[in-house]
């Protein structure tokens, strides 16, 4: 095939593409005059080609958008490929949205004309608008629900978080969206959140659980729903509910211990007193048996009085722990007060107290409670010192914004078998040194007062080595 035949064939193919293109195609000169138009354009404007050619495109457009098309034509004649979207109403037709492309025709490095292609994207834009509207509706719904809500894709990336997530987690949306949940919360590696999320993803089954988010110090109720796209996660703050449950559990334990006091510690001396009173009525007042029985009666009466005083102390603490106003209390001042109170018995056994506290260390709580804590720990150390060495008590303290105040109370006393004591260390009337007199109230009061100030206490002990208490307060 010679060059002329190839040229004819190429022109025919181009002409066929031009005429049969479903999109609107025009060819314009520099003045915007239409020099050619395909059948799709002619059908739209319902005019024969003779009534379209040699007319400007602007003559078919609403006056309001004619300047835009004139501007884009000028840009195209500068050799720039122009593409833009525009809503166009040809003559009296219904307005349609078009993706308009203008491509320069170059001859000898000169722009001799412009091909304008109009692609109708009305349906696409309508669908996009509908999708956007649906997304807006979903966003409104997700923002209006009281639960925190977020979406994870199958790569564990956040794809959406609502404002309640932002509020509860104390993070900005941009810190979470497109970020891996495990990168945002690396401390949860191997924790309950990861375990349950992976379970939902692997099994395709919804999961419901409660877990503690350490970073925010929150108990969360979490519902996880898997899908092909990933996970939908709803959660809410149930910290108050959990705390109420824990308080009820503690109160139930206290009630059980209180019942034990009434049924055992109170009943025993009372039964003895009743028996001794009956016995006294049958004995001559001047007899030795009468005197011995009377002494036993007196001992049981004192024992009954001690139990009643203990009960009164316990009830007084429970009644006032939520009422007493919290104040900033100097740790050093209260410790010194307890030291002075017990100075004489400490000197009698040759014991020493070493104190290492940061200057100005304070806790927020009740001064009387803090005094009771130090008094009971120090008096216990004196009472249960080792027989083979002088008593040494060391009190150290530290404070940080993140963890609050930490007070360590250590002694080199006789210690106790912690494994044998188990969970009874801080329980009422539990004693671990049979050779020493005592009622088992001290450590119970210490723990009660620590918890009343919102703190917690830990203990470690070893027989004939000593005991260490660690107190955490705000």
pLDDT band at residue 316 under the 50/70/90 scheme:
low
CA 447 to centroid of chain Cα atoms? 28
- Highest mean predicted confidence (pLDDT) among 3-17, 48-62, 424-438: 48-62
What pLDDT is recorded for position 74? 92
Q: Do domains 3-121 and 145-237 have the same CATH topology?
A: yes
Residue 1 has pLDDT above 60, yes or no: no
Q: What is the band of 271 on the pLDDT scale with cuts at 50, 70, 90?
A: confident
Contacts of 179 (CB under 8 A, 6+ apart): 157, 158
Residue 117 pLDDT: 94
CATH topology (fold) of 3-121: Beta-Lactamase (3.30.450)
Q: pLDDT at position 451, please?
A: 87
Sign of CA dihedral 400, 392, 377, 259: positive
Residues paired with 150 in a beta bridge = 161, 233
For residue 457, the model assigns a pLDDT of 93
User: What interhelical angle do 367-383 and 442-452 show, nearest 10?
Assistant: 150
Listed by start position, the domains of the chain span: 3-121, 145-237, 243-320, 327-473
For 7, the token pair is 């040229």
pLDDT value, residue 10: 64
Q: What is the band of 298 on the pLDDT scale with cuts at 50, 70, 90?
A: confident
CB contact at 8 A, 369 and 376: no
- Residue 221 clears pLDDT 60, i.e. is over it: yes
Q: Give dist(CA 184, CA 171) in Å, integer.
A: 10
Residue 246: pLDDT over 80: no
User: Domain 145-237 maps to which CATH number in 3.40.50.2300, 3.60.20.10, 3.30.450.20, 3.90.226.10?
Assistant: 3.30.450.20
pTM, to two decimals:
0.44
CATH class of the domain comprising 243-320 = mainly alpha
Chain-wide mean pLDDT for the chain? 85
Condensed to tens digits (0 to 9), the pLDDT of residues 128-160 reads 878 777 767 666 666 767 789 999 999 999 999
Q: What CA–CA distance (Å, rounded) separates 379 from 358?
A: 24
Task: DSSP for 318-360, please give it.
Answer: HHHTTTSPPEEEEHHHHHHHHHHHTHHHHHHTT-EEEEE--TT
Task: Classify domain 327-473 at the CATH class level.
Answer: alpha beta
Between these two residues, 306 and 319, which has the higher pLDDT value?
A: 306
């Amino acid at each position: 095939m010679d060059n002329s035949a190839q040229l004819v064939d190429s022109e025919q193919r181009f002409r066929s593409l031009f005429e049969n293109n479903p999109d609107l195609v025009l060819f314009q000169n520099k003045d915007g005059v239409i020099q050619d138009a395909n059948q799709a354009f002619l059908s739209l404007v319902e005019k024969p080609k003779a009534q379209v050619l040699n007319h400007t495109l602007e003559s078919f457009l609403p006056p309001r958008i004619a300047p835009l098309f004139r501007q884009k034509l000028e840009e195209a004649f500068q050799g720039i490929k122009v593409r833009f979207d525009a809503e166009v109403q040809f003559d009296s037709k219904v307005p349609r949205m078009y993706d308009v492309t203008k491509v320069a025709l170059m001859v000898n490095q000169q722009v001799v004309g412009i091909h304008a292609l109009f692609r109708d994207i009305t349906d696409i834009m309508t669908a996009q608008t509908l999708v956007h509207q649906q997304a807006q509706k979903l966003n409104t719904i997700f923002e209006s629900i009281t639960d925190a809500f977020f979406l994870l894709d199958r790569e564990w990336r956040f794809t959406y978080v609502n404002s309640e997530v932002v509020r509860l987690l104390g993070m900005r949306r941009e810190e979470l969206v497109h970020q891996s949940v495990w990168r945002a919360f690396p401390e949860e590696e191997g924790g309950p959140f990861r375990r349950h999320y992976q379970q939902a993803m692997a099994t395709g089954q919804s999961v419901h659980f409660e877990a503690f988010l350490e970073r925010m110090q929150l108990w969360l109720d979490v519902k996880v729903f898997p899908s092909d796209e990933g996970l939908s996660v709803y959660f809410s703050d149930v910290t108050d509910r959990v705390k109420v449950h824990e308080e009820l559990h503690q109160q139930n334990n206290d009630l059980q211990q209180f019942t034990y006091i009434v049924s055992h510690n109170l009943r025993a001396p009372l039964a003895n007193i009743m028996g001794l009173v009956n016995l006294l009525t049958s004995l001559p007042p001047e007899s030795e048996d009468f005197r011995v029985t009377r002494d036993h009666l007196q001992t049981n009466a004192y024992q009954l009085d001690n139990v009643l005083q203990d009960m009164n102390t316990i009830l007084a603490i429970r009644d006032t722990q939520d009422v007493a106003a919290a104040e900033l209390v100097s740790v050093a001042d209260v410790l010194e007060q307890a030291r002075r109170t017990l100075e004489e018995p400490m000197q009698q056994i040759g014991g020493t107290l070493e104190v290492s506290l940061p200057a100005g260390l304070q806790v927020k709580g009740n001064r009387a409670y803090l005094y009771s804590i130090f008094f009971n720990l120090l008096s216990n150390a004196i009472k249960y010192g080792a027989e083979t060495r002088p008593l040494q008590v060391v009190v150290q303290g530290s404070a940080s914004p993140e963890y609050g105040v930490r007070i360590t109370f250590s002694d080199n006393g006789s210690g106790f078998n912690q494994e044998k004591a188990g969970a009874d260390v801080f329980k009422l009337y539990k004693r671990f040194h049979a050779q020493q007199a005592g009622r088992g109230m001290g450590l119970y009061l210490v723990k009660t007062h620590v918890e009343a100030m919102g703190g917690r206490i830990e203990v470690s002990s070893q027989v004939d080595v000593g005991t260490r208490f660690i107190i955490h307060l705000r």
